[in-house]
Amino acid sequence: MNDHTPDTASRESARVVTAFWDAMQTNDFYAAAGLLAPDYTLEWPQSGERIRGPANFAAINTHYPAAGRWQFTVQRLIAQGSDVVTDVTVTDGVILARAITFSTVRAGLITRQVEYWPDPFEAPAWRVARVERMGLPDDESSQ
């Protein structure tokens, strides 16, 4: 196996994105920005926003209102070549959210992310006979 096989690329991309989430967990968003390429872009399709550059990324996350330290738990990571998808639970102790992030890695840095923050919603009553309720990701009843 050489260094350019898809498996090697996938492993390297997964390593970079894992290091990114580990840095986010420290709440040192400038350290996390160190894993972003100079021409990095982050898109939030639901709010119609695009963030350009590591400095803007770090500033937004540093100044984001929070009740406490942000905690990031990677629920799932899938890597294929330079593309990585993560499902991450995010909380500040009050807010509990889920982020689905599509990352592109090139030359050991994240060049682009598209992130979806789906808001939870109450299931409609008409489906109750056909579904079972799931708990939160850390809830043993959902496994």
Q: Classify domain 6-119 by CATH architecture.
A: Roll (3.10)
Domain borders along the chain are 6-119
The tens place of each residue's pLDDT in the chain, 143 residues long, gives: 445 555 999 999 999 999 999 999 999 999 999 999 999 999 999 999 999 999 999 999 999 999 999 999 999 999 999 999 999 999 999 999 999 999 999 999 999 999 999 988 788 899 888 888 886 555 444 44
Predicted TM-score (pTM) above 0.75: yes
- Dihedral sign (CA 50, 55, 56, 61): positive
Instruction: For residues 17 and 35, give the distance between their C-alpha atoms in angstroms, rounded to a whole number.
Output: 8
Classify residue 137 as exposed, middle or buried by CB count within 10 Å of its CB (0-12, 13-18, 19+): middle
Q: Write out the two tokens for 21.
A: 């989430």
Number of other residues whose CB lies within 10 A of the CB of residue 62: 12
Q: Write out the two tokens for 16.
A: 């970079």
Q: 86, 72 in Cβ contact below 8 A?
A: no
